[in-house]
Amino acid sequence: MTYDETAVDKAIDRLLTEHPHLDAADDGVLDDLDQFHIGGAGAVDRLIPALALAGGDRVLDVGSGFGGPARQIARRTAHHVVGIDLAPAYVEAARSLTAKAGLSDLVRFELGDIAAFRPDRRFEAAITMHVQMNVEDKTTWFGRIADHLAPGARLAVWEVCRPRPARLPWPMPWSLDGTDSFVIPPGALLTAIEDAGFSHTEWTDESLWVRDWIAATFAGGPPAGPALPMLLEDGYTRVINFATALTDGTLEVWRGSFTKTT
């Protein structure tokens, strides 16, 4: 099963011990480790303006992983962020990294399925990054997100799409063998999200930006410090396969900004 790693928290502690000069409280210091999507912190920065945060707005991060995007949004905007994720070890690691970053007052994480989530009130904004690839019934899933958003709330997404039928090299970051992968063309994904109760204000192919990011990020080889593949089963192969499919156009990355309509 994908996302089945255990003791991620311990692995992070070991990596931090091996790199004592790193202070987990410093902005950006763990970007190579805790941003579980292509494009790193730069991708999150591309989503934040669409959230149009104001006043006491709170943000829901669906499929929050190790919590890098949630902490970045809190740091940049000082708004409260709640992450929810299905993987127990990931939620534990996200909580621990958030405590190390001194952000526990602004950011918290829930373990579980969005369908069973019972927040005390609805959110004014949400993000989801690189999660829907594991979801077969995308309209129902985005509908569960809509259920937790106030009327007029904003949703920003950063998503992997497959523009045309093509064989993918497994493992990928979201799937070890393809049995839990449901990657669809960008037009079909846009329709699924809109059918769930959203209208789009932006739907943009970010593949060129992503290819430039890959070239710049890996120009000198893999990052020297703690890095995401060190936490994942078969991590380096997954990252290399993904980068190859994005570079040759087999996969694309699309950024979307939506408003809840219903």
Residues forming contacts to ligand SAM in the complex (CB under 6 A) are 3, 35-37, 62-65, 68-69, 85-87, 90, 113-114, 129-131, 134-135, 173-174
Smallest gap from residue 86 Cβ to ligand SAM (A): 4
Residue 248, amino acid = D
Smallest gap from residue 160 Cβ to ligand SAM (A): 9
Smallest gap from residue 213 Cβ to ligand SAM (A): 14
The label of the residue with tokens 């127990």 reads: 88
Which helix (H) or strand (E) element contains residue 184? none
Of 37 and 79, the one with the shorter C-beta distance to ligand SAM is 37
C-alpha span between 184 and 182 (Å, rounded)? 6
Residue 141, amino acid = W
Strand 149-161 vs strand 252-260: parallel, antiparallel, or unpaired?
antiparallel
Smallest gap from residue 98 Cβ to ligand SAM (A): 13
Q: In the bound complex, which residue of the shown chain has the CB atom lying closest to ligand SAM?
A: 65
Smallest gap from residue 62 Cβ to ligand SAM (A): 6
Of 126 and 190, the one with the shorter C-beta distance to ligand SAM is 126
Tokens of 75: 């740091």
- The three-state secondary structure class of 237 is helix
Q: Is 49 exposed, middle or buried (0-12, 13-18, 19+ CB in 10 A)?
A: exposed
Of 131 and 192, the one with the shorter C-beta distance to ligand SAM is 131
Of 54 and 113, the one with the shorter C-beta distance to ligand SAM is 113
Of 66 and 198, the one with the shorter C-beta distance to ligand SAM is 66
Of 27 and 54, the one with the shorter C-beta distance to ligand SAM is 27
Of 142 and 198, the one with the shorter C-beta distance to ligand SAM is 142
C-alpha span between 240 and 129 (Å, rounded)? 19
Smallest gap from residue 124 Cβ to ligand SAM (A): 19
Residue 218, amino acid = F
Q: How many CA atoms, within 13 angstroms, populate the side-chain half-sphere of residue 244? A: 13
Smallest gap from residue 64 Cβ to ligand SAM (A): 6
CB 63 within 8 A of CB 157: no
| CA-wise closest residue to 198 among 136, 132, 256, 137 | 256
